[in-house]
Amino acid sequence: MFAYHFMVNAFRAGTIVAVAGGLMGWFMVLRRQTFAGHTLAVVGFPGAAGAVWLGVNAAWGYFGFCGAGALLIAALPRATGGDRSHESAGIGVVQAFGLAAGFLFVSLYHGFLNGVSSLLFGSFLGITDGQVLTLLLVCTAAVVALALAGRPLLFASVDPDVAAARGVPVRAVSAGFLLALGLTVAEISQITGALLVFAVLVMPAAAAQALTIRPGAGLAASVVIAVGITWAALTAAYHSSWPIGFWIATFGFGVYLAASGWRRWRSRR
């Protein structure tokens, strides 16, 4: 399997994606921002489609749209307590309009069908050395930013009111997190496609939070699970004719089910 260079690159890229996605996803799940995360993942599609239509590098489209989407969502009035209906309606509108715009760009550009499915569902097996390097740089930057802002971010995520009272700039931290998430997602979705980046973000994190509530252990578990799923999925995709996206989602779902089953069994004893 490793005799092929494209598989080596797929493993390198997959590992980087898994580490960054596992860390970012853990905070996303903790902050109950799965819907925002999904929307950010999805707005990469119009970005890429628009870039292809205009004939510029797709990476600009991904970063531009995901970054703009993050700022837009951060500008929506943040819901506190039980009433989230306005915020979620706003996020939903951002997402649906983004996808509609993506569809418009794709239909204006006539290289129609293959383009859509590779933008939406990605292609793990055609990754170049240059792409791996960019991926590594962007994800390292995101992880370093996360490490630097980790403590206030954690504080603001767990209890925004107390954090605000203690002088943590909750709104700025929140906007910064969304922006970092958007940029990470923009980089990841160039590999996994706009629709499947969400699987890497949410599943390992959800499983990790079912296993432990301690932040350090949870972050570690999330990364380990993400890397494990990605390697297993790459191996399975290599040996079968089924797509990698299916394998990632299925292994992730299996781990999540096992983790929540284990938690239920533990709490019953």
Partner 1 sequence: MAEPAVSLLAHPFMRNAYLAGTAIAVLAGLVGYFVVLRSQVFTGDALSHVAFTGALAALAAGIDARLGLFAATIAVGAGMAVIGRNGRADDVVTGTVFAWVLGVGVLMLTLYTTSNSTGNSAAGVNVLFGSIFGLSAGQARFAAVLASVLVLVVLAGARPLLFASVDDAVAAARGVPVRVLGVGFLAVVGATAAEATQAVGALLLLGLLAAPAGAALRLTSRPYRAMWLSAGLAVASMWIGLGLSYAVPRLPPSFSILAVATAVYLAASVGPAVAAVAGRATTAFSRPAPPAPAGAGERQTAPGSRTSSRARRADRPPR
Residues numbered 59-98 forming contacts with partner 1, rule: CB under 8 A: 77, 79-80, 83-86, 88-93, 95-97
Please report whether residue 247 would count as binding partner 1 according to CB under 8 A: yes
Provide, rounded to whole angstroms, the least separation between the CB of residue 233 and partner 1: 10
Please report whether residue 29 would count as binding partner 1 according to CB under 8 A: yes
- Length of the chain in residues, anyone? 269
For partner 1, give the closer residue by CB, 5 or 214: 214
Exactly one of 6, 57, 71, 107 binds partner 1 (CB under 8 A); that residue is: 107
Exactly one of 242, 262, 264, 266 binds partner 1 (CB under 8 A); that residue is: 242
For partner 1, give the closer residue by CB, 89 or 165: 89
Please report whether residue 232 would count as binding partner 1 according to CB under 8 A: no
Residues numbered 136-165 forming contacts with partner 1, rule: CB under 8 A: none
Please report whether residue 103 would count as binding partner 1 according to CB under 8 A: yes
Exactly one of 66, 135, 196, 225 binds partner 1 (CB under 8 A); that residue is: 196
Provide, rounded to whole angstroms, the least separation between the CB of residue 167 and partner 1: 21
Are the C-beta atoms of 173 and 156 separated by less than 8 Å? yes
Q: Which residue has the tokens 């943590």?
A: 168
For partner 1, give the closer residue by CB, 107 or 140: 107
Map the chain to HEC letters: CCCCHHHHHHHHHHHHHHHHHHHHHHHHHHCCCHHHHHHHHHHHHHHHHHHHHHCCCHHHHHHHHHHHHHHHHHHCCCCCCCCCHHHHHHHHHHHHHHHHHHHHHHHHCCCHHHHHHHHHHCCHHHCCHHHHHHHHHHHHHHHHHHHHCHHHHHHHHHCHHHHHHCCCCHHHHHHHHHHHHHHHHHHHHHHHCCCCHHHHHHHHHHHHHHHCCCHHHHHHHHHHHHHHHHHHHHHHHHHCCCCHHHHHHHHHHHHHHHHHHHHHHHHHC
Please report whether residue 212 would count as binding partner 1 according to CB under 8 A: no
| Closest listed residue to residue 126, CA positions, set 138, 114, 137 | 114
| Closest listed residue to residue 47, CA positions, set 220, 224, 185, 250 | 185
For partner 1, give the closer residue by CB, 83 or 265: 83
Please report whether residue 265 would count as binding partner 1 according to CB under 8 A: no
Provide, rounded to whole angstroms, the least separation between the CB of residue 53 and partner 1: 12
Please report whether residue 238 would count as binding partner 1 according to CB under 8 A: no
For partner 1, give the closer residue by CB, 61 or 245: 245
Please report whether residue 99 would count as binding partner 1 according to CB under 8 A: yes
Please give the residue ranges that form the binding site for partner 1 (CB under 8 A).
Answer: 29, 32, 34-35, 38, 77, 79-80, 83-86, 88-93, 95-97, 99-101, 103-104, 107-108, 112-113, 116-117, 120-121, 195-196, 198-199, 202-203, 206, 209, 241-243, 245-250, 252-253, 256
